[in-house]
Chain A
Protein backbone atom coordinates (compact mmCIF):
# COMPACT_ATOMS: atom_id res chain seq x y z
CA UNK A 1 0.00 0.00 0.00
CA UNK A 2 1.36 3.40 -0.99
CA UNK A 3 0.46 6.71 0.53
CA UNK A 4 1.09 8.98 -2.47
CA UNK A 5 -1.68 8.74 -5.03
CA UNK A 6 -0.42 7.36 -8.30
CA UNK A 7 -3.17 8.83 -10.40
CA UNK A 8 -2.29 10.16 -13.83
CA UNK A 9 -3.04 13.31 -15.88
CA UNK A 10 -6.06 13.62 -18.17
CA UNK A 11 -4.59 12.99 -21.62
CA UNK A 12 -2.52 10.09 -20.43
CA UNK A 13 -5.58 8.69 -18.70
CA UNK A 14 -7.59 8.87 -21.91
CA UNK A 15 -4.87 6.99 -23.81
CA UNK A 16 -4.45 4.41 -21.06
CA UNK A 17 -8.20 3.85 -21.01
CA UNK A 18 -8.32 3.60 -24.79
CA UNK A 19 -5.56 1.01 -24.69
CA UNK A 20 -7.04 -1.23 -21.97
CA UNK A 21 -10.56 -1.02 -23.36
CA UNK A 22 -9.39 -1.81 -26.90
CA UNK A 23 -7.36 -4.72 -25.57
CA UNK A 24 -10.38 -5.90 -23.62
CA UNK A 25 -12.60 -5.79 -26.71
CA UNK A 26 -10.09 -7.85 -28.65
CA UNK A 27 -9.38 -10.33 -25.86
CA UNK A 28 -13.05 -10.98 -25.20
CA UNK A 29 -13.60 -11.48 -28.91
CA UNK A 30 -10.73 -13.85 -29.55
CA UNK A 31 -10.14 -15.59 -26.23
CA UNK A 32 -6.42 -15.87 -26.70
CA UNK A 33 -6.40 -17.18 -30.26
CA UNK A 34 -4.97 -14.62 -32.65
CA UNK A 35 -6.30 -16.67 -35.56
CA UNK A 36 -9.69 -15.35 -34.58
CA UNK A 37 -8.74 -12.10 -36.29
CA UNK A 38 -9.06 -13.88 -39.60
CA UNK A 39 -12.57 -14.93 -38.72
CA UNK A 40 -13.57 -11.36 -39.55
CA UNK A 41 -12.42 -11.97 -43.14
CA UNK A 42 -14.89 -14.78 -43.50
CA UNK A 43 -17.78 -12.43 -44.07
CA UNK A 44 -16.31 -10.48 -47.03
CA UNK A 45 -14.84 -13.66 -48.53
CA UNK A 46 -18.14 -15.55 -48.47
CA UNK A 47 -20.05 -12.52 -49.73
CA UNK A 48 -17.58 -12.16 -52.59
CA UNK A 49 -18.17 -15.82 -53.44
CA UNK A 50 -21.93 -15.40 -53.47
CA UNK A 51 -21.89 -12.23 -55.55
CA UNK A 52 -19.45 -13.75 -58.01
CA UNK A 53 -21.57 -16.87 -58.38
CA UNK A 54 -24.70 -14.83 -59.06
CA UNK A 55 -23.48 -11.73 -60.92
CA UNK A 56 -19.91 -12.63 -61.93
CA UNK A 57 -20.53 -13.78 -65.50
CA UNK A 58 -23.04 -11.02 -66.29
CA UNK A 59 -20.96 -8.14 -64.92
CA UNK A 60 -17.58 -9.46 -66.14
CA UNK A 61 -18.19 -7.46 -69.34
CA UNK A 62 -17.75 -4.26 -67.32
CA UNK A 63 -14.50 -5.53 -65.84
CA UNK A 64 -12.51 -6.17 -69.05
CA UNK A 65 -14.34 -9.48 -69.53
CA UNK A 66 -12.55 -10.97 -66.56
CA UNK A 67 -14.29 -12.73 -63.72
CA UNK A 68 -11.09 -12.42 -61.69
CA UNK A 69 -11.31 -8.63 -61.97
CA UNK A 70 -14.90 -8.82 -60.80
CA UNK A 71 -13.88 -10.93 -57.82
CA UNK A 72 -11.17 -8.44 -56.86
CA UNK A 73 -13.48 -5.44 -57.28
CA UNK A 74 -16.22 -7.06 -55.23
CA UNK A 75 -13.77 -8.09 -52.52
CA UNK A 76 -12.16 -4.64 -52.13
CA UNK A 77 -15.59 -3.06 -51.88
CA UNK A 78 -16.91 -5.63 -49.42
CA UNK A 79 -13.89 -5.32 -47.16
CA UNK A 80 -14.58 -1.60 -46.78
CA UNK A 81 -18.32 -2.01 -46.31
CA UNK A 82 -17.96 -4.82 -43.82
CA UNK A 83 -15.44 -2.84 -41.77
CA UNK A 84 -17.80 0.12 -41.68
CA UNK A 85 -20.95 -1.86 -40.96
CA UNK A 86 -19.60 -4.15 -38.27
CA UNK A 87 -17.64 -1.41 -36.49
CA UNK A 88 -20.55 1.02 -36.33
CA UNK A 89 -22.95 -1.74 -35.30
CA UNK A 90 -20.61 -2.72 -32.45
CA UNK A 91 -19.97 0.87 -31.39
CA UNK A 92 -23.69 1.69 -31.31
CA UNK A 93 -24.45 0.09 -27.91
CA UNK A 94 -21.03 0.90 -26.40
CA UNK A 95 -22.18 3.81 -24.21
CA UNK A 96 -25.46 2.26 -23.06
CA UNK A 97 -23.87 -1.10 -22.31
CA UNK A 98 -21.41 0.56 -19.94
CA UNK A 99 -24.12 2.62 -18.23
CA UNK A 100 -23.67 0.95 -14.85
CA UNK A 101 -19.96 1.57 -14.96
CA UNK A 102 -20.43 5.22 -15.93
CA UNK A 103 -22.66 5.62 -12.89
CA UNK A 104 -19.90 4.37 -10.60
CA UNK A 105 -16.71 5.83 -11.98
CA UNK A 106 -16.04 9.09 -13.73
CA UNK A 107 -14.89 8.31 -17.25
CA UNK A 108 -14.47 10.29 -20.46
CA UNK A 109 -17.49 8.73 -22.18
CA UNK A 110 -16.04 9.23 -25.66
CA UNK A 111 -13.43 6.57 -25.02
CA UNK A 112 -16.08 3.84 -25.20
CA UNK A 113 -17.11 4.09 -28.88
CA UNK A 114 -13.54 4.93 -29.83
CA UNK A 115 -12.16 1.77 -28.20
CA UNK A 116 -14.60 -0.28 -30.29
CA UNK A 117 -13.39 1.45 -33.45
CA UNK A 118 -9.78 0.86 -32.46
CA UNK A 119 -10.34 -2.86 -31.86
CA UNK A 120 -11.74 -3.12 -35.37
CA UNK A 121 -8.91 -1.04 -36.84
CA UNK A 122 -6.46 -3.51 -35.34
CA UNK A 123 -8.41 -6.37 -36.79
CA UNK A 124 -8.51 -4.66 -40.19
CA UNK A 125 -4.78 -3.91 -40.22
CA UNK A 126 -3.94 -7.51 -39.35
CA UNK A 127 -6.58 -9.22 -41.47
CA UNK A 128 -7.87 -7.34 -44.50
CA UNK A 129 -5.12 -4.80 -45.09
CA UNK A 130 -2.35 -7.31 -45.84
CA UNK A 131 -4.65 -8.88 -48.44
CA UNK A 132 -5.27 -5.49 -50.05
CA UNK A 133 -1.52 -4.89 -50.00
CA UNK A 134 -0.83 -8.23 -51.70
CA UNK A 135 -3.44 -7.52 -54.36
CA UNK A 136 -1.92 -4.08 -54.92
CA UNK A 137 1.60 -5.46 -55.23
CA UNK A 138 0.44 -8.22 -57.51
CA UNK A 139 -1.59 -5.95 -59.85
CA UNK A 140 0.38 -2.71 -59.84
CA UNK A 141 3.78 -4.05 -58.79
CA UNK A 142 4.40 -0.70 -57.11
CA UNK A 143 5.20 -0.85 -53.36
CA UNK A 144 4.58 2.89 -53.13
CA UNK A 145 0.91 2.24 -53.92
CA UNK A 146 0.69 0.07 -50.82
CA UNK A 147 1.66 3.10 -48.77
CA UNK A 148 -0.83 5.26 -50.65
CA UNK A 149 -3.54 2.74 -49.73
CA UNK A 150 -3.24 4.04 -46.19
CA UNK A 151 -4.77 7.37 -47.27
CA UNK A 152 -8.24 6.09 -48.19
CA UNK A 153 -8.04 3.56 -45.32
CA UNK A 154 -7.45 6.39 -42.86
CA UNK A 155 -10.41 8.26 -44.37
CA UNK A 156 -12.47 5.11 -43.78
CA UNK A 157 -11.40 5.01 -40.12
CA UNK A 158 -12.30 8.68 -39.69
CA UNK A 159 -15.78 8.39 -41.18
CA UNK A 160 -16.42 5.22 -39.18
CA UNK A 161 -15.40 6.99 -35.97
CA UNK A 162 -17.71 9.92 -36.71
CA UNK A 163 -20.71 7.67 -37.39
CA UNK A 164 -19.88 5.57 -34.31
CA UNK A 165 -20.04 8.67 -32.14
CA UNK A 166 -23.39 9.74 -33.58
CA UNK A 167 -24.88 6.26 -33.18
CA UNK A 168 -23.62 5.53 -29.67
CA UNK A 169 -24.90 8.94 -28.54
CA UNK A 170 -28.30 8.60 -30.22
CA UNK A 171 -28.78 5.11 -28.80
CA UNK A 172 -28.81 6.59 -25.29
CA UNK A 173 -31.99 8.43 -26.24
CA UNK A 174 -33.55 6.01 -28.69
CA UNK A 175 -33.29 2.36 -27.81
CA UNK A 176 -35.02 1.23 -30.99
CA UNK A 177 -32.17 2.63 -33.07
CA UNK A 178 -30.64 -0.76 -34.05
CA UNK A 179 -33.71 -1.70 -36.13
CA UNK A 180 -33.53 1.56 -37.99
CA UNK A 181 -29.79 1.38 -38.39
CA UNK A 182 -30.03 -2.08 -39.94
CA UNK A 183 -31.98 -0.44 -42.75
CA UNK A 184 -29.34 2.28 -43.11
CA UNK A 185 -26.52 -0.26 -43.41
CA UNK A 186 -28.50 -2.11 -46.04
CA UNK A 187 -29.02 1.11 -48.02
CA UNK A 188 -25.29 1.81 -47.74
CA UNK A 189 -24.45 -1.63 -49.07
CA UNK A 190 -26.85 -1.33 -51.99
CA UNK A 191 -25.87 2.24 -52.83
CA UNK A 192 -22.14 1.59 -52.78
CA UNK A 193 -20.81 0.24 -56.05
CA UNK A 194 -19.68 -2.94 -54.35
CA UNK A 195 -21.01 -5.85 -56.34
CA UNK A 196 -22.19 -4.02 -59.45
CA UNK A 197 -20.39 -1.61 -61.81
CA UNK A 198 -21.32 2.02 -61.19
CA UNK A 199 -22.11 2.33 -64.92
CA UNK A 200 -25.35 0.35 -64.72
CA UNK A 201 -27.03 2.85 -62.41
CA UNK A 202 -29.47 5.17 -64.25
CA UNK A 203 -28.05 8.71 -64.70
CA UNK A 204 -30.97 10.11 -62.72
CA UNK A 205 -29.97 8.13 -59.64
CA UNK A 206 -26.19 8.57 -60.01
CA UNK A 207 -25.98 11.92 -58.15
CA UNK A 208 -27.58 10.32 -55.09
CA UNK A 209 -24.98 7.59 -55.05
CA UNK A 210 -22.31 10.30 -54.94
CA UNK A 211 -23.70 11.28 -51.55
CA UNK A 212 -22.55 7.97 -50.10
CA UNK A 213 -19.36 8.84 -48.20
CA UNK A 214 -18.01 5.32 -48.68
CA UNK A 215 -18.09 5.50 -52.50
CA UNK A 216 -14.97 7.66 -53.00
CA UNK A 217 -13.15 5.50 -50.43
CA UNK A 218 -14.01 2.27 -52.21
CA UNK A 219 -13.32 3.71 -55.66
CA UNK A 220 -9.94 5.14 -54.71
CA UNK A 221 -8.86 1.88 -53.05
CA UNK A 222 -9.89 0.02 -56.21
CA UNK A 223 -7.98 2.39 -58.44
CA UNK A 224 -4.84 2.01 -56.33
CA UNK A 225 -5.09 -1.72 -55.85
CA UNK A 226 -6.58 -2.93 -59.11
CA UNK A 227 -5.59 -0.36 -61.73
CA UNK A 228 -2.41 1.06 -60.22
CA UNK A 229 -3.87 4.57 -60.65
CA UNK A 230 -3.56 7.36 -58.11
CA UNK A 231 -6.59 9.65 -58.18
CA UNK A 232 -5.69 12.33 -55.66
CA UNK A 233 -8.93 14.23 -56.32
CA UNK A 234 -10.95 11.20 -55.34
CA UNK A 235 -8.82 10.58 -52.24
CA UNK A 236 -9.29 14.26 -51.38
CA UNK A 237 -13.06 13.90 -51.79
CA UNK A 238 -12.98 10.85 -49.51
CA UNK A 239 -11.11 12.84 -46.87
CA UNK A 240 -13.41 15.88 -47.05
CA UNK A 241 -16.50 13.71 -46.66
CA UNK A 242 -14.96 11.78 -43.79
CA UNK A 243 -13.78 14.85 -41.93
CA UNK A 244 -17.18 16.54 -42.26
CA UNK A 245 -18.95 13.49 -40.85
CA UNK A 246 -16.36 13.05 -38.10
CA UNK A 247 -16.75 16.72 -37.15
CA UNK A 248 -20.53 16.36 -37.06
CA UNK A 249 -20.22 13.25 -34.93
CA UNK A 250 -17.93 14.92 -32.47
CA UNK A 251 -20.10 18.06 -32.16
CA UNK A 252 -23.26 15.97 -31.73
CA UNK A 253 -21.70 13.71 -29.10
CA UNK A 254 -20.37 16.74 -27.20
CA UNK A 255 -23.72 18.49 -27.17
CA UNK A 256 -25.57 15.38 -25.93
CA UNK A 257 -22.87 14.51 -23.43
CA UNK A 258 -24.40 16.30 -20.44
CA UNK A 259 -27.75 14.58 -20.88
CA UNK A 260 -26.33 11.05 -21.04
CA UNK A 261 -26.06 10.44 -17.31
CA UNK A 262 -29.76 11.06 -16.67
CA UNK A 263 -30.67 8.27 -19.05
CA UNK A 264 -28.12 5.60 -18.27
Chain B
Protein backbone atom coordinates (compact mmCIF):
# COMPACT_ATOMS: atom_id res chain seq x y z
CA UNK B 1 0.00 0.00 0.00
CA UNK B 2 1.27 3.44 -0.90
CA UNK B 3 1.24 5.78 2.07
CA UNK B 4 2.67 8.63 0.07
CA UNK B 5 1.94 9.09 -3.60
CA UNK B 6 3.04 12.00 -5.74
CA UNK B 7 1.71 11.98 -9.28
CA UNK B 8 3.19 14.37 -11.84
CA UNK B 9 3.66 17.00 -9.18
CA UNK B 10 4.92 20.38 -10.31
CA UNK B 11 5.30 23.45 -8.19
CA UNK B 12 5.83 27.03 -9.22
CA UNK B 13 6.70 29.54 -6.56
CA UNK B 14 6.91 33.26 -6.59
CA UNK B 15 10.50 34.44 -6.50
CA UNK B 16 10.94 36.51 -3.39
CA UNK B 17 13.89 38.65 -4.37
CA UNK B 18 11.89 40.48 -7.00
CA UNK B 19 8.87 41.01 -4.86
CA UNK B 20 8.61 44.49 -3.43
CA UNK B 21 6.63 43.68 -0.26
CA UNK B 22 5.71 47.31 -0.36
CA UNK B 23 2.43 49.10 -0.91
CA UNK B 24 4.11 52.38 -1.78
CA UNK B 25 6.31 50.84 -4.48
CA UNK B 26 3.42 48.84 -5.88
CA UNK B 27 1.18 51.90 -6.16
CA UNK B 28 3.89 53.97 -7.83
CA UNK B 29 4.63 51.10 -10.20
CA UNK B 30 0.94 50.89 -11.09
CA UNK B 31 0.76 54.64 -11.69
CA UNK B 32 3.85 54.54 -13.91
CA UNK B 33 2.47 51.54 -15.77
CA UNK B 34 5.58 49.60 -14.79
CA UNK B 35 3.68 46.99 -12.85
CA UNK B 36 4.45 43.42 -13.85
CA UNK B 37 2.94 40.29 -12.54
CA UNK B 38 5.38 38.78 -10.06
CA UNK B 39 7.53 36.22 -11.81
CA UNK B 40 7.40 32.59 -10.80
CA UNK B 41 10.03 29.94 -10.79
CA UNK B 42 9.58 26.23 -11.20
CA UNK B 43 10.79 24.44 -8.11
CA UNK B 44 9.54 20.94 -8.82
CA UNK B 45 8.97 19.48 -12.25
CA UNK B 46 6.76 16.45 -12.85
CA UNK B 47 7.80 14.57 -9.76
CA UNK B 48 6.46 11.05 -9.44
CA UNK B 49 7.13 9.26 -6.20
CA UNK B 50 5.48 6.38 -4.43
CA UNK B 51 6.42 5.37 -0.94
CA UNK B 52 5.05 2.28 0.69
CA UNK B 53 4.19 1.73 4.32
CA UNK B 54 7.29 1.03 6.37
CA UNK B 55 9.76 2.13 3.70
CA UNK B 56 12.74 4.26 4.70
CA UNK B 57 13.54 6.69 1.93
CA UNK B 58 16.51 9.02 1.78
CA UNK B 59 16.25 12.24 -0.20
CA UNK B 60 19.55 13.49 -1.57
CA UNK B 61 20.57 16.26 -3.91
CA UNK B 62 22.37 19.57 -4.05
CA UNK B 63 21.22 22.64 -2.13
CA UNK B 64 18.21 24.15 -3.84
CA UNK B 65 17.28 20.99 -5.69
CA UNK B 66 13.88 20.90 -4.05
CA UNK B 67 14.31 18.39 -1.24
CA UNK B 68 12.83 20.49 1.52
CA UNK B 69 10.12 21.77 -0.81
CA UNK B 70 9.15 18.18 -1.54
CA UNK B 71 8.85 17.51 2.19
CA UNK B 72 6.68 20.61 2.56
CA UNK B 73 4.35 19.30 -0.13
CA UNK B 74 4.11 15.95 1.61
CA UNK B 75 3.44 17.62 4.98
CA UNK B 76 0.70 19.71 3.37
CA UNK B 77 2.41 23.03 4.05
CA UNK B 78 2.51 23.78 0.33
CA UNK B 79 0.03 22.83 -2.37
CA UNK B 80 1.21 21.63 -5.79
CA UNK B 81 0.60 23.87 -8.78
CA UNK B 82 -0.34 20.79 -10.78
CA UNK B 83 -0.39 17.09 -10.09
CA UNK B 84 -1.61 15.25 -7.06
CA UNK B 85 -0.23 14.55 -3.60
CA UNK B 86 -1.90 11.79 -1.59
CA UNK B 87 -0.82 10.98 1.93
CA UNK B 88 -2.33 8.33 4.16
CA UNK B 89 -1.62 8.48 7.85
CA UNK B 90 -0.38 10.96 10.37
CA UNK B 91 2.80 12.87 9.69
CA UNK B 92 5.22 14.05 12.31
CA UNK B 93 7.43 16.76 10.95
CA UNK B 94 10.79 16.91 12.60
CA UNK B 95 11.98 19.85 10.63
CA UNK B 96 14.27 22.14 12.59
CA UNK B 97 13.30 21.37 16.13
CA UNK B 98 12.05 24.12 18.29
CA UNK B 99 10.47 26.33 15.66
CA UNK B 100 7.25 26.32 17.67
CA UNK B 101 8.69 27.38 20.99
CA UNK B 102 7.91 30.65 22.66
CA UNK B 103 11.06 31.50 24.57
CA UNK B 104 9.22 33.60 27.16
CA UNK B 105 7.00 30.73 28.28
CA UNK B 106 7.99 28.03 30.73
CA UNK B 107 9.24 24.64 29.57
CA UNK B 108 5.96 23.07 30.73
CA UNK B 109 3.81 25.52 28.79
CA UNK B 110 5.99 25.05 25.75
CA UNK B 111 5.51 21.29 25.82
CA UNK B 112 1.75 21.78 25.55
CA UNK B 113 2.07 24.59 22.99
CA UNK B 114 4.46 22.68 20.73
CA UNK B 115 2.48 19.46 21.04
CA UNK B 116 -0.77 21.17 20.05
CA UNK B 117 1.00 22.84 17.12
CA UNK B 118 2.11 19.38 16.03
CA UNK B 119 -1.48 18.18 16.18
CA UNK B 120 -1.94 16.57 19.58
CA UNK B 121 -4.59 17.54 22.10
CA UNK B 122 -3.71 19.71 25.05
CA UNK B 123 -4.81 16.99 27.42
CA UNK B 124 -2.56 14.37 25.83
CA UNK B 125 0.35 16.75 26.14
CA UNK B 126 -0.32 17.50 29.81
CA UNK B 127 -0.39 13.78 30.52
CA UNK B 128 2.84 13.20 28.64
CA UNK B 129 4.72 16.13 30.12
CA UNK B 130 6.53 14.06 32.79
CA UNK B 131 7.71 11.50 30.23
CA UNK B 132 8.91 14.24 27.90
CA UNK B 133 10.79 16.06 30.67
CA UNK B 134 12.30 12.75 31.66
CA UNK B 135 13.55 11.94 28.19
CA UNK B 136 14.89 15.44 27.60
CA UNK B 137 16.51 15.33 31.07
CA UNK B 138 15.01 18.68 31.93
CA UNK B 139 13.07 17.79 35.07
CA UNK B 140 14.57 20.59 37.15
CA UNK B 141 13.84 23.12 34.44
CA UNK B 142 10.10 22.58 34.03
CA UNK B 143 9.12 26.00 35.40
CA UNK B 144 11.88 27.98 33.78
CA UNK B 145 11.34 29.99 30.63
CA UNK B 146 12.80 28.36 27.53
CA UNK B 147 15.11 31.32 27.02
CA UNK B 148 16.99 30.24 30.14
CA UNK B 149 17.90 26.94 28.46
CA UNK B 150 21.01 26.34 26.41
CA UNK B 151 20.53 25.73 22.71
CA UNK B 152 21.39 22.06 23.16
CA UNK B 153 18.70 21.74 25.82
CA UNK B 154 16.15 23.40 23.53
CA UNK B 155 16.98 20.93 20.77
CA UNK B 156 16.64 18.06 23.23
CA UNK B 157 13.24 19.32 24.33
CA UNK B 158 12.09 19.65 20.72
CA UNK B 159 13.20 16.14 19.89
CA UNK B 160 11.58 14.70 23.00
CA UNK B 161 8.22 16.33 22.21
CA UNK B 162 8.17 15.50 18.52
CA UNK B 163 9.04 11.85 19.06
CA UNK B 164 6.95 11.23 22.15
CA UNK B 165 4.20 9.71 20.05
CA UNK B 166 5.14 7.40 17.24
CA UNK B 167 3.82 8.75 13.94
CA UNK B 168 2.87 6.77 10.82
CA UNK B 169 5.19 8.90 8.78
CA UNK B 170 8.28 10.51 10.22
CA UNK B 171 9.99 13.28 8.36
CA UNK B 172 13.58 14.10 9.25
CA UNK B 173 15.22 17.13 7.71
CA UNK B 174 18.84 17.13 8.88
CA UNK B 175 18.04 16.99 12.57
CA UNK B 176 20.11 14.08 13.69
CA UNK B 177 22.69 16.16 15.46
CA UNK B 178 20.89 16.95 18.68
CA UNK B 179 22.71 17.79 21.89
CA UNK B 180 25.87 16.16 23.15
CA UNK B 181 27.20 12.72 22.19
CA UNK B 182 25.34 10.93 24.94
CA UNK B 183 22.01 12.46 24.01
CA UNK B 184 22.70 11.85 20.34
CA UNK B 185 22.90 8.14 21.10
CA UNK B 186 19.65 8.31 22.98
CA UNK B 187 17.95 9.97 19.99
CA UNK B 188 19.45 7.44 17.67
CA UNK B 189 17.99 4.64 19.77
CA UNK B 190 14.55 6.16 19.74
CA UNK B 191 14.69 6.70 16.00
CA UNK B 192 15.83 3.14 15.49
CA UNK B 193 12.84 1.96 17.40
CA UNK B 194 10.64 3.88 14.93
CA UNK B 195 12.70 2.36 12.17
CA UNK B 196 11.95 -1.14 13.34
CA UNK B 197 8.30 -0.46 14.18
CA UNK B 198 7.25 -0.11 10.57
CA UNK B 199 6.97 3.68 10.51
CA UNK B 200 7.50 5.19 7.12
CA UNK B 201 10.54 7.43 7.32
CA UNK B 202 11.62 10.18 4.97
CA UNK B 203 15.10 11.57 5.56
CA UNK B 204 16.75 14.54 3.96
CA UNK B 205 20.45 14.27 4.51
CA UNK B 206 23.80 15.25 3.11
CA UNK B 207 25.35 12.41 5.05
CA UNK B 208 25.51 9.83 2.29
CA UNK B 209 27.00 7.16 4.55
CA UNK B 210 24.06 7.48 6.84
CA UNK B 211 21.59 7.29 3.95
CA UNK B 212 23.34 4.24 2.53
CA UNK B 213 23.31 2.47 5.85
CA UNK B 214 19.79 3.21 7.02
CA UNK B 215 17.57 3.64 3.97
CA UNK B 216 15.85 1.08 1.75
CA UNK B 217 15.74 3.46 -1.11
CA UNK B 218 17.25 6.70 -2.20
CA UNK B 219 15.63 9.42 -4.24
CA UNK B 220 17.97 11.91 -5.86
CA UNK B 221 16.51 15.24 -6.80
CA UNK B 222 18.24 17.42 -9.32
CA UNK B 223 16.88 20.85 -10.13
CA UNK B 224 13.36 19.87 -9.20
CA UNK B 225 13.32 16.57 -11.02
CA UNK B 226 13.76 13.03 -9.84
CA UNK B 227 17.12 12.05 -11.26
CA UNK B 228 17.41 8.66 -9.67
CA UNK B 229 15.08 6.54 -7.61
CA UNK B 230 16.16 3.17 -6.33
CA UNK B 231 18.96 1.28 -4.61
CA UNK B 232 20.70 3.48 -2.02
CA UNK B 233 24.20 2.18 -2.84
CA UNK B 234 23.91 2.79 -6.55
CA UNK B 235 22.15 6.12 -6.01
CA UNK B 236 24.69 7.56 -3.63
CA UNK B 237 27.62 6.32 -5.71
CA UNK B 238 26.25 7.93 -8.84
CA UNK B 239 25.47 11.09 -6.92
CA UNK B 240 29.03 11.23 -5.58
CA UNK B 241 30.40 10.78 -9.09
CA UNK B 242 28.65 13.88 -10.35
CA UNK B 243 29.61 15.90 -7.29
CA UNK B 244 33.33 15.00 -7.43
CA UNK B 245 35.01 17.50 -9.73
CA UNK B 246 36.78 15.91 -12.69
CA UNK B 247 40.48 15.17 -12.22
CA UNK B 248 40.47 15.79 -8.50
CA UNK B 249 41.43 12.82 -6.40
CA UNK B 250 39.13 12.29 -3.44
CA UNK B 251 40.98 12.04 -0.18
Report the minimum CB–CB distance from B165 to chain A (whole Å). Answer: 5
A175-B22, A262-B13, A263-B21 known; A1+B93 contact, CB < 8 A: no
Q: Is A20 in contact with chain B by the CB < 8 A criterion? A: yes
B14 within 8 A of A: yes
Contact, CB under 8 Å: B21 / A174: yes
User: Which residues 186-204 of A have a CB within 8 angstroms of B?
Assistant: none
A103 touching B72 in the complex, CB below 8 Å, given contacts A20-B116, A262-B13: yes
Please measure, in the bound complex, the distance between the C-alpha atom of A99 and the C-alpha atom of B122, giving whole angstroms. 23
Across-interface contacts of A175 in B (CB, < 8 A): 21-22
Q: Is B76 an interface residue (CB 8 A)?
A: yes
Say whether B104 faces chain A, with CB atoms less than 8 Å apart: yes
State whether B90 touches A5 (Cβ < 8 A).
yes
> B190 in the interface, Cβ–Cβ < 8 Å?
yes
Across chains A and B, the number of contacting residue pairs, with CB separation under 8 Å, is 107
Q: Do residues B102 and A104 form an inter-chain contact, with CB atoms below 8 A? A: no
Tell me, rounded to whole Å, the shortest Cβ–Cβ distance linking B60 to chain A. 21
Q: A106-B77, A262-B16 are in contact. Are A2 and B105 (CB under 8 A)?
A: no
A173 surroundings in chain B (CB, below 8 A) = 21
Closest to B101 in A: A101
Pick from A27, A102, A177: contact of B109, CB under 8 Å: A27
Across the interface, A24 reaches (CB within 8 A) one of B105, B118, B168, namely B105
The residue on A at minimum CB distance from B117 is A105
Provide the residues of chain A in CB contact with B78, threshold 8 Å: 261
Q: CA separation between A1 and B89, bound complex, in Å? A: 18
* Contact residues, B72-88 vs A (CB, 8 A): 72, 75-79
Known: A103-B72, A175-B22. A28 touches B102 (CB 8 A): yes
Tell me if B95 counts as interface (CB < 8 A to partner A): yes
Asked if A20 and B122 make an inter-chain contact with CB atoms under 8 angstroms apart, the answer reads yes
Q: With an 8 A cutoff between CB atoms, is A137 at the interface?
A: no
User: A13 CA to B123 CA in the complex, in Å?
Assistant: 12
Min Cβ gap B72→A in Å is: 7
Most buried by A among B14, B23, B112, B193: B23
By CB atoms of chain B within 10 A, which of A28, A31, A106, A259 has the most? Answer: A106
Q: Which of B79, B121, B165 is in CB contact (< 8 Å) with A16? A: B121
Contact of B77 among A7, A19, A103, A180 (CB under 8 A): A103
Q: When the two chains form their complex, are residues B75 and A106 in contact, meaning their CB atoms are under 8 A apart?
A: yes
Closest to A5 in B: B90
> Does A17 make an interface contact (CB < 8 A)?
yes
Chain A residues 17 to 57 lying within 8 A of chain B, measured CB to CB, are 17, 19-21, 23-24, 27-28, 31
Asked if B130 lies at the interface with its beta carbon under 8 angstroms from chain A, I say: no
Tell me if B96 counts as interface (CB < 8 A to partner A).
Answer: yes
The answer to the question of B99 belonging to the interface, with a C-beta cut-off of 8 Å to chain A, is: yes
A1-B165, A12-B121 known; A106 vs B76 contact (CB < 8 Å): yes
Given the contacts A24-B113, A104-B96, A258 and B79 also touching, CB distance less than 8 Å: yes
B36 to chain A, nearest CB (A): 15
Nearest A-chain residue to B190, judged by Cβ: A1
Please, how many angstroms separate the alpha-carbon atoms of A20 and B78 in the complex?
24
A20 touches B105 (CB 8 A): no
Q: Which residues of B contact A262 (CB under 8 A)?
A: 13-14, 16
Contact A2 B22 (CB under 8 A): no
* A112, chain B: closest CB distance, angstroms: 11
Measured CB to CB, the closest approach of chain B to A111, in angstroms, equals 10
Report A-chain residues with C-beta under 8 Å of the C-beta of B197.
3
The reply to whether B23 and A176 contact each other, CB–CB distance below 8 Å, is yes
Least Cβ–Cβ distance between A177 and chain B, in angstroms: 6
Q: Which B residues are in CB contact (< 8 Å) with A183?
A: none
Contact B116 A17, beta carbon cutoff 8 Å: yes
Distance in Å from the Cβ of A174 to the closest Cβ of chain B? Answer: 4
A96 closest partner in B (C-beta): B21
Interfacial chain A residues near B77, Cβ < 8 Å: 102-106, 261
In whole angstroms, what is the CA distance A31 to B145 when docked? Answer: 11
CA of A177 to CA of B20, assembled, Å? 13
- In the A-B complex, the 6 residue pairs with the smallest Cβ-Cβ separation, listed nearest first, are A174-B23, A262-B14, A5-B90, A104-B99, A175-B21, A106-B76
5 more A-B residue pairs beyond the given contacts A3-B166, A5-B90, with a C-beta to C-beta distance below 8 A: A2-B166, A6-B121, A16-B116, A16-B121, A24-B105
Question: Which residues of chain A have a CB within 8 Å of any CB of chain B?
Answer: 1-3, 5-8, 12-13, 16-17, 19-21, 23-24, 27-28, 31, 100-107, 173-177, 180, 258-259, 261-263
